[in-house]
Every structure is written in structure tokens, then in C-alpha cells.
Structure 1
Amino acid sequence: MSTEQPAYETIKRDGDFEVRRYNGYIMAQVDVRSDFDDALRQGFMMLYEYISGHNRVRLKIPMTVPVTEEIVEDGEKIPMTTPVTAEKTGEGVYRISFVMPGRYTLDTLPRPDNENIRFREVGDHNVAVVRFSGHSHEPRVQEKMRQLVDWMQTNGLVPKSCCRLARYDPPWIPGFMRRNEVMADF
């Protein structure tokens, strides 16, 4: 049985790059002030506890993919024109997100016990993606962000927001088998 992920249509494929049209979905999100890797660990655990039953009705919610991480500043996404997009290092604020299973709505999702977790409804949208395998450590992710932005510019796509990292596999999967992506809305 495969893990649920948001539905999308591939519009264009160019090597490791793709243009996709996603259907809408709901995300559970938490902002964490830390370095790149530690923010993911902390945010993942908060969201994992939520789907494991740490919510007002003790409901367990199935895990979905991807888990995303993006740089934010003062609780807001950083615009693509800000140099920090591909250059941010060290401690910062990162938004970690889980996509909620498609059968839930904002009205049917249980309220989290952790008040830092919030929900966001994402409508249908277009995304440019670069896919890569291996580990997704910060220097490699920054390089993939630069590659994606360059590819988008070459293809006449104007980013609406900062790039985000999408991880699809659990940490025990060997690096060469992992699916990772850097994404940007346009």
C-alpha cells in the first residue's frame, strides 16, 4: 500500500525538472526557529505527534507525503526576490508541513493539542520541481534551489514564493533510494 500524496498532473518534463498542476489540499504546519536540519526534526515530531493522536479527540490520522520545509521570516514566507531564498544558513525560522489526507476538511480535522500547529487550505496551483535522490542536507538543497530558479527563468516561469524542500521517504531509507524535491509555486 502506498502513502497518500496530493494529486497532480505533470504538464512538462525536462530531465529532473517538471511543471505540475496540483489539486487543492490542506496542510498542518508549524514554524520552528533553529538550523535547517534541527528545524525539520523538531517540526516533524510536533506534527507526527498530532497525527498520532495528540489532538482533542485522540484521532490517529494516516501519514502522507511529502513533508515540506521552507524558510520563513517573522511567520511569513520570504518573497522569491529576497536573496535569502538560496543563501539562508544557520539558525532561522523554518515552516514544516504535513499534507493532510484528502478525506479531511478544515471542519473535520481534530484540533491539535499543540497550539503552535495550524492548518492552511491550499487551492489548485502550479509548481515547478527539481527531483533528486540522496540525502537532503542544506548545501545540496541550496544548490537544487539555485538550479530550479535558473531553470524557471530559462523557461519563462516567474516564482510566486520561496522554494521549499519536499521529502518523500522515512529516514531509514538508504540515501540513493530517497525521493526529494525542491519546489516553487509560479
Structure 2
Amino acid sequence: MSKWSGVLPRMAITQRSTLLLFALAWLGVCSSFTVIKDGASSLYFCKELDCPKFEEKYNSTAYQIRMYETSKWVSTTITGLDYQAATEEAFMKLFEYIEGENDQHVKIPMTVPVINRIQPGLGPVCASNFTVSFFVPFKFQSNTPKPTKKELFINTLGQEKVYVRVYHGFTNQTNFPKEAADLGDVLNSTQTYDKSYYYTAGYDSPFVSHDRHNEIWFIATDK
């Protein structure tokens, strides 16, 4: 009998359990979504949830230019090779924070998007840093509950000019690098941006299979 005969089924069970927990977390979020009318976004892809404010400067089928206001996010960083695994691990930690694991012991409404700051490794087999963040709702922007777990932190994103590419379907290890490359290809030589990292932004739960809205963000350096 192969030494892997018992290990592989256990690995499969562990992977299924992780995915189930991730799905249940989203299900809990969906069932407890609070629609905030005061300050909630009217943008269709924000689903009437709080999402960061921006002014659109340019819009085409290839890309958009947005000016984002300063905002607070709760974040955690995972180092690894797999985008999906890192996102799931980070999401669960952030979900516990909004469920009450914070210094104010308050439940915090879910927001969109869930962003993932990707700082690629130096080579194809080198680990990348994935910093996953939830936007802090407007009612908590000035008095933000502090995380009680040391691996979570409150992160302030300053006023930024952002190049944005919209894409659809489920984000996976293959398509988001291609979408990022496509965004880089359509920008001209005067449209410069920080090439050391970029963001994915997701606006839908795993239960949404149609009309999914995802984005790639490049932070402009040509202010």
C-alpha cells in the first residue's frame, strides 16, 4: 500500500472542510447583511452596501480612472504561493473581526469590495504577500474598533488616483495575472503606476455565479 493512501483522503477532507467553512462564513455574511442607507453606495456593483467613495475621471471598456477618498480598512497579510488559499485564510480572520472579535465587541456590517493587495514574489516558486482587507463602514470610520488578534491591523489608504480594469467570473490563480497584464498593456507611457504591487477587488459572494463584478487596481504615480 502506498504511503499516500491514507494521507490523500485526509488532505481532501481538510480542503473540503476549509471550503465549507469559507462558504458558511459568506452565507452568514449574506444572511446578516445590513443595508446602510446613510452613506451607502448607489453604485450597482456595491449592492447597496458601504464601499469606498471615489470620483470617476475616465471610463472606457478597457479601463477606468478613479480618484478615491482617504479611507480605513481592516487588514491581514498572508504569505504563500496560492492566491485562493491565502484569500480564504485571510477572509476567515477578517470575518471573525466583524462578528465581534474587536475591542468594542460590536458586530460590524459587511462591506464591499474585499480587496487583496498582491506583492508578487521574485520568482514563480517564490511566495507572495497577500494583504486582504475589508472596508470599514462609514459609521465606524472615525471610531474604528481595534482588532483583538495581533495579525489583524487597521490600515488607512490615502487619497489615491487608481487605474481600474473590470472583469467578470470567478477570480482564480490564472485569470487575475492576465487581467493585470491587460491593464498594463492599455495604459500609455505617461500613465505611470507602482509596479511593486497591485490589487484585486471582489464585490460578490461565492454563491453569485452570474454577472460577477471584479476589478484590478493599479495605484497611479502620475498624480
User: Fold-level match, TM-score > 0.5?
Assistant: yes
Partner of 2:112: 65
Scaled by the length of structure 2, what TM-score is found?
A: 0.71
Cα shift at 1:89: 6.4
Partner of 1:19: 65
- Rounded to whole Å, the distance in 1 between the matches of 2:171 and 2:58 is 24
- Rounded to whole Å, the distance in 2 between the matches of 1:27 and 1:88 is 29
Partner of 1:99: 135
RMSD, aligned CA: 2.0
Q: Percentage identity across aligned positions? A: 24
What does residue range 115-126 of structure 1 map to in structure 2 within 5 Å? 115-126=150-161
Given that 1:134 and 1:177 are in contact with CA atoms closer than 8 Å, whether structure 2 keeps it comes out as yes
Q: Which runs of 4+ in 1 moved over 4 A?
A: 87-91
RCO comparison, higher one (Cα < 8 Å, 6+): 1
Alignment gaps of 5+ in structure 1: 73-77
Cα shift at 1:93: 2.3
Tell me whether 1:39 sits opposite 2:73 in the alignment: no
- Rounded to whole Å, the distance in 1 between the matches of 2:126 and 2:112 is 26
Given that 1:36 and 1:89 are in contact with CA atoms closer than 8 Å, whether structure 2 keeps it comes out as no
- Rounded to whole Å, the distance in 1 between the matches of 2:136 and 2:126 is 29
- Rounded to whole Å, the distance in 1 between the matches of 2:124 and 2:214 is 19
- Rounded to whole Å, the distance in 2 between the matches of 1:168 and 1:89 is 29
Q: For residues 145-175 of structure 1, what are the alpha-carbon distances to aligned partners after superposition, in whole Å with 9 as ceiling and x for unaligned?
A: 10111122x262100252210001111000x
Helix, strand or coil at the partner of 1:149: helix
Alignment gaps of 5+ in structure 2: 1-34, 36-47
Query: Which of the two has higher C-alpha Rg?
Result: 2
Tell me whether 1:129 sits opposite 2:176 in the alignment: no
Higher helix share: 2
**Cα distance 1:97–1:88, how it changes in 2: closer, same or farther (>3 A)?**
farther
- Rounded to whole Å, the distance in 2 between the matches of 1:96 and 1:146 is 21
**Aligned residue pairs, count:** 172
Higher strand share: 1
